[in-house]
């Protein structure tokens, strides 16, 4: 419902803006900016607003329908009347109608008919085709309210694909808008807080999604089972992002500084060698490492066996799995840092080093007091951006470990190397108790807030760096 309103409202506002920009406004810049604005609204603002809306509902398995859809479903439910006989039937299809046969009676009807009467059937007209159960089911779906008048028994309805019966609605409307159960003569009680209809304390039919306020956010922080999984994933996500950035920066810096001190020919050769991991497609490299890190058949354990080291469960043990994903990400990420830092080092004026050498500074002192401060200051915005990127960088983890090994005590099928974004996916599509879109939306909102905060921090630091 919210998505429909959000799309409609956005379309109206953008339509008004388009009229103003392309008809009344004389500023050409607005016309070039407008297509980007449309994409931003429909592909960013609307999805974000819908996620916010879902995070305040109970949209999950058992509560996937609207209230009106649940009411319609309850009202469409029928039961067999106590005095009804079950009449066997079969269908024959003709080019322009159907023939319904009940014992020695028959009736023709079309898809739009609401009533048909059974009459004597001495001979089945030729040219028809007897329908299979799945074909009959499609007919019943389109003609569920069709009344079949039996000459001696009265009005019948479809019961199943091969039978008719006298039926009546299970639930009917009361004058006050509530529903009554025709079997028990009791009124249904609506639990609006949880989106349920109950009869004598028991839920009847599916639930509907409704606004539950901050319940999903409270569940993340207060429900013991959910809190355990959420915070475990939360801390590993930050650890993963921090160590990924730190390791790639350290290795990239070390190699960039070392290569910068070499001669031109050696420098070129080594740089080409170190950039090779960056040139190989990401997923191919990860899959190669997955084979190499296999406990029983991997080349790494095979090589370690020469040193009498027992096979290491790289992908099966929780600690080694985390070490593995970090090392593989280091292999894939350090060439980028190497390239960027190399560019920074080459932009440092040589006159600075010449002046420091006149003061008697050693290479170590040059690195400590000149190279590293300049390099680090220029790298701060990139490091923050890289940290924000790694908060949602699950592709490498998924290809290498699949998020595993599994946390046995987790209420959601979560793995030791799963980060928040994969936890969100598992909540939405792989939960042990069904799909919980509302809780997944709440987690995604927390991720969104973190990324936005890091982005603003990046902007501020970048501004300070550019000014100073």
DSSP 217-263: HHHHHH-HHHHHHHHHHHHHHHHHHHHHHHHHHHHHHHHHHHHHTS-
Domain that holds residue 127: 78-169
Cis peptide before 369 (omega within 30 of 0): no
CATH number at residue 246: 1.10.3720.10
Residues 176, 236 within the same domain: no
Residues 40, 104 within the same domain: no
Residues 336, 351 within the same domain: yes
Residues 198, 342 within the same domain: no
Q: Give percent of the chain with pLDDT exceeding 90.
A: 48
Query: Under the phi-then-psi rule, with left for phi > 0, alpha for psi from -120 to 50, and beta for the rest, what region is 201?
Result: left
Q: Is residue 227 situated within a structural domain?
A: yes
Q: Check the CA dihedral 309-312-318-319 and report its sign.
A: positive
Residues 411, 456 within the same domain: yes
> Which residue did the predictor score with more confidence, 414 or 249?
249
CATH number at residue 139: 2.40.430.10
Enumerate residues 6+ apart whose C-beta is below 8 A from 9: none
Q: Model confidence at 467, in pLDDT bands (50, 70, 90)?
A: low
Checking if the pLDDT of 263 tops 80, the result is no
Residues 292, 152 within the same domain: no
Enumerate residues 6+ apart whose C-beta is below 8 A from 86: 80, 159, 163, 164, 165
Query: Per the structure, how many domains does the chain have?
Result: 4
End-to-end CA distance of the chain, in Å? 50
Checking if the pLDDT of 468 tops 70, the result is no
d(CA 71, CA 322): 49
Indicate the pTM of the whole model: 0.83
Q: Is residue 211 situated within a structural domain?
A: no
| Residue 466, pLDDT score | 64
Q: Is residue 6 situated within a structural domain?
A: yes
Count of C-beta atoms within a 10 Å radius of residue 354? 9
| Residue 185, pLDDT score | 87
Strand pairing class (179-181; 115-117): unpaired
Q: Is residue 212 situated within a structural domain?
A: no
Q: Is residue 60 situated within a structural domain?
A: no
Residues 349, 444 within the same domain: yes
Residues 399, 279 within the same domain: yes
Residues 359, 242 within the same domain: yes
Closest CA to 246 of 326, 316, 169, 182: 326
Residues 193, 103 within the same domain: no
Q: Is residue 128 situated within a structural domain?
A: yes
Q: Is residue 62 situated within a structural domain?
A: no
Q: Do the beta carbons of residue 139 and residue 126 sit within 8 Å? A: no
d(CA 107, CA 438): 50
Q: Model confidence at 432, in pLDDT bands (50, 70, 90)?
A: low
Q: What is the pLDDT of residues 311-344, one digit of tens each?
A: 999 999 999 999 999 999 999 999 889 889 988 8
Q: Of the residues 127, 151, 169, which one is the last residue of a structural domain?
A: 169
Residues 188, 253 within the same domain: no
Kindly report each contact of residues 121-130 with a partner whose C-beta sits within 8 Å and lies 24 or more positions away, as own/partner: 124/92, 124/99, 125/94, 125/99, 127/94, 127/95, 128/92, 128/93, 128/94, 128/99, 129/92, 129/93, 130/90, 130/91, 130/92, 130/93
Q: Is residue 208 situated within a structural domain?
A: no
| Residue 242, pLDDT score | 94
Residues 341, 439 within the same domain: yes
How far, in Å, are 74, 178, 197, 410 from residue 186 at the CA level? 14, 11, 12, 41
Q: Do the beta carbons of residue 219 and residue 60 sit within 8 Å? A: no
Mean pLDDT, rounded, of the chain: 89
């Amino acid at each position: 419902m919210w998505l429909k309103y959000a799309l409609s409202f956005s379309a109206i506002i953008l339509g008004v803006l388009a009229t103003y920009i392309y008809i009344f406004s004389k500023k050409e810049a607005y016309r070039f900016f407008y297509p980007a604005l449309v994409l931003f609204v429909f592909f960013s603002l609307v999805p974000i607003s819908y996620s916010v809306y879902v995070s305040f509902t109970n949209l999950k398995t058992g509560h996937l329908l609207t209230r009106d859809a649940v009411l319609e479903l309850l009202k469409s439910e029928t039961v067999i009347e106590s005095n009804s006989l079950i009449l066997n039937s079969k269908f024959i299809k003709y080019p322009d109608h159907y023939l319904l046969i009940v014992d020695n009676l028959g009736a023709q009807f079309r898809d739009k008919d609401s009533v048909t009467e059974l009459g004597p059937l001495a001979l089945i007209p030729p040219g028809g085709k007897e329908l299979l159960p799945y074909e009959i089911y499609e007919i019943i779906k389109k003609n569920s309210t069709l009344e079949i008048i039996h000459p001696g028994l009265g009005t019948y309805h479809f019961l199943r694909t091969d039978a008719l019966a006298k039926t009546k609605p299970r639930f009917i409307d009361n004058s006050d808008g509530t529903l009554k159960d025709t079997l028990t003569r009791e009124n249904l009680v609506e639990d609006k807080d949880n989106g349920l209809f109950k009869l004598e304390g028991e839920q009847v039919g599916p639930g509907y999604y409704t606004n539950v306020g901050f319940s999903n956010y409270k569940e993340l922080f207060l429900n013991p089972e959910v809190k355990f999984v959420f915070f475990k994933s939360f801390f590993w996500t930050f650890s993963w992002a921090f160590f990924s950035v730190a390791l790639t920066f350290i290795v990239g810096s070390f190699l960039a500084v070392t290569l910068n001190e070499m001669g031109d020919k050696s420098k070129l050769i080594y740089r080409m060698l170190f950039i090779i991991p960056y040139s190989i497609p990401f997923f191919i490299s990860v899959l190669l490492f997955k084979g190499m890190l296999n406990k029983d058949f991997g080349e790494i354990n095979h090589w370690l066996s020469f040193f009498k080291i027992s096979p290491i469960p790289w992908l099966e043990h929780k600690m080694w799995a985390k070490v593995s994903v970090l090392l593989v990400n280091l292999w894939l990420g350090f060439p980028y840092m190497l390239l960027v830092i190399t560019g920074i080092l080459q932009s440092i004026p040589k006159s600075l080093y010449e002046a420091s050498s006149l003061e008697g500074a050693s290479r170590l002192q040059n690195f400590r007091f000149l190279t590293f401060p300049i390099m680090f200051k220029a790298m701060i915005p990139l490091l923050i951006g890289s940290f924000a990127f790694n908060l949602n960088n699950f592709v490498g983890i998924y290809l290498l470990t699949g998020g595993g090994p599994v946390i046995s005590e987790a209420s959601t099928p979560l793995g030791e190397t799963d980060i928040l974004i994969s936890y969100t996916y598992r909540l939405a599509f792989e939960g042990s108790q069904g799909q919980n879109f509302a809780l997944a939306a709440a987690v995604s909102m927390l991720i969104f807030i973190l990324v936005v905060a890091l982005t603003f921090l990046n902007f501020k630091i970048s501004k300070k760096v550019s000014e100073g």
